[in-house]
Amino acid sequence: MTKLAEVMDAITEQRKGTELLRGELKKATGDAVDQASFKKLEELVTDLDTKRQKFETDYLADIEATKKLAEEASLKAGRRGADGGDEPDADALAHKSVFVDFMRAKGAPSAQESLKEAEAKALGSATGSGPGVGVPGLLAQDIQKKVVDTSVMRGLIDMVTVGTSDYKKLVDKGGMGFGWVGAGDTRTATALSGEYEVDFPMGTLYAYPEVQEEQLDDVFFDLENWLIESARIAFANAIDVSVINGTGTKMPTGMLATAPVADADGARADKVYQYLASGTADTLGVPDNLIELIYLVKAQYRANARFAMNSLTTGKVRVMQDTNGRFLWADGLAVGEPARLLGYPVAPVEAMPDIAANSTPIGFGDFKEAYTMVERHELRITPDEITKPGFKKWHIRTRKGGAPTNDDAVKFIKAAAA
């Protein structure tokens, strides 16, 4: 179990590494040896940052797991949870228990009959339709929450649960016309603001983990947590990649699927974001570009704005200084506090592109306004013990879709001369 002291040590080491990096930057002479050493130091500080994030994630997960165990113990003792909220009822817990037994069972009809009976009693479970069985609500919530904890973009964008694949969203461009008149003057019609409709391409997001039959027979094999972790990793990676780079074919349309353009707000096609050219062919250019990027975003979107970039880009940005020699980057000083760039939080999104010619490695703005993902909350699972003898597999899946919505709310820096 991760301890608070370990997290605080990681924060301290990260701060020391950043200060060391800044000191070396001031002493850099530019020759090949110094540049190679400096690059290694950059990589070290980036690694310290990654370790700090992992310690924090594990620590918060341990706290949540402890809380969950306490709540289940309280429920079994016939009491309500400490927070006074509603707790899962006995039928829901029984459904979860029978479901795990079913997952271990090797095609026994009695196991499926018991599961169907428990599923019917648990009113909050995902019964649904189609092949396979519904994942119990308690287990589905665990998977969904772990996806939220691990998928950075899911925590930033707008998430909508829908009951049908035919879901649309209307976006108002704003800019309704107006006029001034005197008392008794004739009023003429003013122009309407523009609206556009957003469709959300959908696809089936799935995981297909497998395990040896001998492992299922081992009573020490924690099938429940193994299943949650397998789905968590698969779904979290898929969500981040699809929000940034999804093609729109059998999957969501990503923010960069339609290449951002230089045109200002009001002059671009709908659902296309704006970029700011760095001024050089394959770098981020001068630090002033980051300041300009911030103020390309309208004031109403800056209130909830943040930067998004991957770790390699972070390593370059954290040593940037303004014209007075002040660093633009500030490490978070508390557990769970994100680093800040020019006063705004930084989200570590590994799906963002690296710095390269014509890439868009940094985004800034209100991602919740800029992108919407829709999902059928129901998770379904089908056991498979036929296609690979000696192994049992589980086909876990859910339906998701997504698309850019308000393209004014986020801007990108593009590594390009113009």
**pLDDT of 126-176, one tens digit each?**
444 455 555 656 556 666 666 766 788 988 999 998 887 788 888 877 767
Report whether pLDDT(189) > 80: yes
Q: Are residues 210 and 102 in the same domain?
A: yes
In a domain, 206, yes or no: yes
| Residue pointed to by tokens 């709908």 | 270
In a domain, 43, yes or no: yes
Q: Are residues 148 and 240 in the same domain?
A: yes
Q: Are residues 361 and 291 in the same domain?
A: yes
Q: Are residues 62 and 114 in the same domain?
A: no
CATH number of the domain to which 313 belongs: 3.30.2320.10
In a domain, 86, yes or no: no
List C-alpha distances in Å: 181 to 177, 185, 193, 401: 14, 6, 21, 47
- Would you call 56 exposed, middle or buried from its count of C-beta atoms within 10 A (0-12, 13-18, 19+)? buried
Q: Are residues 245 and 306 in the same domain?
A: no
Helix (H), strand (E) counts: the chain: 11, 16
Output the six-digit token pair for 160.
């909508």
Residue 253 Rama label (left phi>0; alpha psi -120 to 50; beta): beta
Residues 381 and 396: beta-carbon distance below 8 Å: yes
Better pLDDT: 273 or 21: 273
In a domain, 339, yes or no: yes
Report whether pLDDT(110) > 70: no
Structural domain for 219, as ranges: 94-165+199-251+375-403
Output the six-digit token pair for 242.
């699809």
Q: Are residues 227 and 307 in the same domain?
A: no
Q: Which of 76, 105, 131 is the last residue of a domain?
A: 76
Residues 374 and 202: beta-carbon distance below 8 Å: yes
Residue 347: which residues within 8 A CB-CB, separation 6 or more? 152, 156, 306, 307, 308, 309, 338
Nearest residue to 107 (alpha-carbon basis) of 416, 409, 365, 392? 392
In a domain, 82, yes or no: no
Report whether pLDDT(212) > 80: yes
Better pLDDT: 26 or 118: 26
Judge if pTM exceeds 0.95.
no
- Report d(CA 139, CA 224) in Å as an integer: 8
Q: Which of 26, 44, 76 is the last residue of a domain?
A: 76
- Report d(CA 203, CA 251) in Å as an integer: 5
Q: Are residues 11 and 157 in the same domain?
A: no
Q: Are residues 331 and 365 in the same domain?
A: yes
pLDDT of residue 113: 62
- DSSP 8-state assignment for residue 207: E
pLDDT digits (tens, 9 = 90+) for 327-370: 899 887 676 678 899 999 999 999 999 999 999 999 999 999 99
Report whether pLDDT(398) > 60: yes
In a domain, 297, yes or no: yes
pLDDT grade for 251, boundaries at 50, 70 and 90: very high
List C-alpha distances in Å: 360 to 185, 260, 407: 51, 8, 15
Q: Are residues 345 and 383 in the same domain?
A: no
pLDDT grade for 215, boundaries at 50, 70 and 90: confident
Q: Indicate the helix (H) or strand (E) that contains 195.
A: strand 194-199
Q: What is the dihedral of CA 306, 4, 315, 332, to 10 degrees?
A: 40
Residue 334: which residues within 8 A CB-CB, separation 6 or more? 11
Q: Which of 76, 102, 131 is the last residue of a domain?
A: 76
Q: Are residues 338 and 392 in the same domain?
A: no
pLDDT of residue 80: 43
pLDDT digits (tens, 9 = 90+) for 81-106: 444 445 556 666 666 666 666 665 65
In a domain, 266, yes or no: no
Residues 223 and 97: beta-carbon distance below 8 Å: no
Report whether pLDDT(406) > 80: yes
391 beta partners = 212
Instruction: Return the SS3 of 294.
Output: helix
pLDDT of residue 400: 92
In a domain, 301, yes or no: yes
Q: Are residues 235 and 379 in the same domain?
A: yes
Domain count, the chain: 3
Output the six-digit token pair for 132.
């396979």
Q: Are residues 367 and 388 in the same domain?
A: no
